[in-house]
Amino acid sequence: MSEDSSSSLMVVLLETHSSMWIQADSQPADQRHLSAAGLLEQAVGFLNAFLLLSDANQLAVFCIHASTSHLLHLSPGLLQTRAKDKALMQDTLGLEIIARIQDIMQQPETDMGGRPALAGALSRALCFIRGQWGGSAEEGQRLKALGRAPPRLLTIASSQDAPQQYIPTMNAIFAAQKLGVVMDTCMAGPHESAYLQQAAHITGGQYLRPSKPGALLQYLLTLYLADTNTRKLLKYPPSPGIDFSASCFCHKNPIDMGFVCSVCLSIFCENVKECSTCGTKFDLL
Amino acid sequence: MDLISYLEGLPPSVVGALYSSPWTCRAVVRGIPPLAKQYVMRMVLLDQGVAEGVIDAWPKASARSQHATAMRKLGRLQLLTLVPKGQQASVLATLPPRDNERAFRLHPEVQRQLRKALVSGVAAQSQTLSQSVNRALPSSAQLEDHAVRQWEGLLSFLHGSTPQPPLLASEGPKPKLDIIKLLQSAQLQQGNRGKRELTASGFRFMLMDTYHQLWLLLRAYIDLAKNQSGAELASVVSFLLQLGGHEAAQPISLASMQANERDICADLALLGLLLPFRDGEGGSWACPTRLAMALGGSGSAEAQQEVSQGYIIVETNYRMYAYTSSTLQRAVLDLFVRCEAVLPNLYIGTLTRESVIAALAKGLDSEQLLTFLRRHAHPRALQRSPVVPEVVGDQMRLWQAQTRRLKSDAAQLYQQFGDVKVWRASVERAKELGIWLWDHEPSRRLAARVEGHPQMREFIRSQQ
């Protein structure tokens, strides 16, 4: 029991936001740049590799889309009814995911210009993990006492951080930390992501922005395939300097220095008379 | 015992042929240690070889022993092959490059199959079934029933609680498999028809998990098949593994198979791995049961859980409650538990010194007994940690240690030393050589291990 305690469930968040397609495909396709289709292809290769490694391994894939998050794939073992699993098992994993994405792209989006819903997708994935793993706080504690680790959460994103989502994203990260979920994050786009860096740092996962995105699959296989138990045996690259900068609560600007409420620790970029979060009056100034 | 150790013993040409099947590759990758899995996956996309120094740098310093095990396993399974000297140029080398460093690459066939699997997954071909087949499709309860009946029938025949090997009740091609011969060639049973008895490995077999039991029997089956019909080993193995790759209730059409595959199917139906049935138009089909799916698995704990429901609770007072109505499971427990009461759905017994030592005398091991108890623990018992109370586990280990208090060494006794000085020098010499066992001064006797006898003889002669 002790040796087999790591979880066999991996929850994956894949970014499928339209800006990713535009941004990725405007670049020439070579080692340095990865087309959106290439990104999907390589991510699916990684998912296949994960399923290949053990018959107990299970997968849940969600997409991070504009303002929404959809379920792309669920391993048959996680489904409730048999009828559903027959319907879903017709295609290979890759074809199924691509078909689902096409469906989603064709849906009339209520908010086409919306930013990728990273925070929403994270919350959804955490809710899903909570439902799968234990279901209640007591059950989770019991599993933890038995040495069972909760599922892993891997995020593959390529868009820049959206400062508006700072608070919900950080809340989701802290929730994951409390659950004991290890968050692996991979930034396939050209910009570093402070949020994803912090997510991996806080929850004990790995963050990576590949210097050669064209070889994404090799990075994924090397860094993210091992479960938490096997990781104890392998060397990992030292974490790079992590960008801990916060965003202010009033204008959502990323700041290096600001004002912090002495009661609730809310962050502001300018001196305010009253904390907008907890209502404390600062009459000293 | 399982697939992996079977493959380790095969010559390169045979293994090469086996690895050309995606099912074998999948089963092998699932069966190797976790660290070895990571190494394989790191190398799967690389076209060039990887220098040994690079691979050695992957694990942490604290994981040396696991690394050595993983590398040994990969080597023995021939998953890693040496890059020939001439092609060293295209190797991912350490910096700075060392002279004469060995370099490895994945077995080319395995690499090809794994790359394919990454692109498309190793899912069984899904097929559209006609209405008549769908209507005749056995329900999951029927499948389960068949698997349990055949497999338990086999085990209780092996154990001796039923006189006849299981027969195939359902329709379909008649199996040619001789169960008695199979059990004997697997060295689980000995004796002739009149008087059969379990061997020591047979006793151990009864306590194994289903996955290892299956593979042990199938290995014997593969060998039998090779001797009897000269069937191609590779085709038999990859067919078996392919079965394991099927989803439950995904029927296989017997009509599309070759004759030898159809024979295998019939034999496997007898073992409970397949359930044959006929569709409305008279076509022959077979449906894999959960036993067949266990084949392609890795035998991991979680996969095991699905194969069998736990039923055993062990208490700190050595009492054991087993919620089972199966005569087979009771018979297995009788091997090492003193039965106190049997109720319709409950078996109550005590782990006593006598019952456990009797089991140890039959060739079982206290660790095996404990693993058995843990593996079949009742879901309620699983919530405790440890699952089997520590005091019970320790006591069982102590009982085993007691049976091993005596140890025998082949020895040579030296006596009638004329001079006490010679005796003393001989004792010293024996201790120097590391073969000293016992000495007794008043009678001037000395016992030493027999392998040092020539040196001792020389020495004593030279002293006199």
Q: How far apart are CA A169 and CA A176, in angstroms?
A: 11
Chain A nearest-CA residue for B297: A55
Average pLDDT score over residue span B350-355: 92
Interface with chain B: mutation pick from A233, A235, A236, highest number of B CBs within 10 Å:
A233
B82 touching A (Cβ < 8 Å): no
**How do residues A79-107 score in pLDDT, each as one tens digit?**
654 444 444 455 677 888 888 888 887 77
- According to the model, what pLDDT value does residue B122 have? 60
**How do residues A197-217 score in pLDDT, each as one tens digit?**
989 999 988 998 888 888 889
Residues of chain A with pLDDT > 90, as a percent, come to 15
Q: Give the domain ranges of chain B.
A: 3-120, 137-304, 312-403, 411-463
Cross-chain residue pair B301–A4, CB shorter than 8 Å: yes
Cβ–Cβ under 8 Å, residues B228 and B12: no
Partner-chain residue, chosen from B60, B114, B298, that has the shortest CB–CB distance to A235: B60
More confident residue, B299 or A47: A47
Fold of B411-463: Alpha-Beta Plaits (3.30.70)
Please report which helix (H) or strand (E) contains residue A37, including its range: helix A36-53
Partner-chain residue, chosen from B118, B297, B383, that has the shortest CB–CB distance to A55: B297
Interface with chain B: mutation pick from A90, A234, A235, A236, highest number of B CBs within 10 Å:
A234
- According to the model, what pLDDT value does residue B302 have? 43
Cβ–Cβ under 8 Å, residues B11 and B230: no
Question: What does pLDDT average to over chain B?
Answer: 81
The residue whose two tokens read 């003889």 is B457
Chain B residues inside the 8 Å CB shell of A230: 34-35, 37-38
Residue B353 to chain A, least CA–CA distance (Å): 26
- According to the model, what pLDDT value does residue B395 have? 93
Query: At B297, is the pLDDT very low, low, confident or very high (cuts 50, 70, 90)?
Result: low
B29 touching A (Cβ < 8 Å): yes
B48 touching A (Cβ < 8 Å): no
Residue B30 to chain A, least CA–CA distance (Å): 5
Q: How far apart are CA B287 and CA A235, in angstroms?
A: 45
B240 touching A (Cβ < 8 Å): no
Query: At A2, is the pLDDT very low, low, confident or very high (cuts 50, 70, 90)?
Result: very low
Query: At A134, is the pLDDT very low, low, confident or very high (cuts 50, 70, 90)?
Result: low
Residue B59 to chain A, least CA–CA distance (Å): 4
Overall CATH class of domain B3-120: mainly alpha
Closest CA to B249 of B284, B280, B288: B288
Cross-chain residue pair B121–A48, CB shorter than 8 Å: yes
Query: At B230, is the pLDDT very low, low, confident or very high (cuts 50, 70, 90)?
Result: low
Q: How far apart are CA A150 and CA A144, in angstroms?
A: 8
Indicate the length of chain B as a whole number.
464
pLDDT at B248 > cutoff 80? no
**How do residues B364-421 score in pLDDT, each as one tens digit?**
888 889 988 888 888 888 777 788 899 999 999 999 988 887 778 888 898 888 888 8
Chain B residues inside the 8 Å CB shell of A4: 300-302
Q: How far apart are CA A23 and CA A68, in angstroms?
A: 19
CB-based burial of residue A111 (10 Å sphere; 0-12 exposed, 13-18 middle, 19+ buried)? exposed
Sign of the torsion formed by the C-alpha atoms of A5, A78, B308 and B182: negative
Cβ–Cβ under 8 Å, residues A17 and A159: yes
pLDDT at A52 > cutoff 50? yes
What pTM does this model have?
A: 0.74
Cross-chain residue pair A145–B385, CB shorter than 8 Å: yes
Report residue B212 as tokens: 């290892």
Q: How far apart are CA A247 and CA A268, in angstroms?
A: 8
- According to the model, what pLDDT value does residue B273 have? 81
Question: What does pLDDT average to over chain A?
Answer: 79
A and B: number of Cβ contacts within 8 A = 104
Residue B311 to chain A, least CA–CA distance (Å): 17
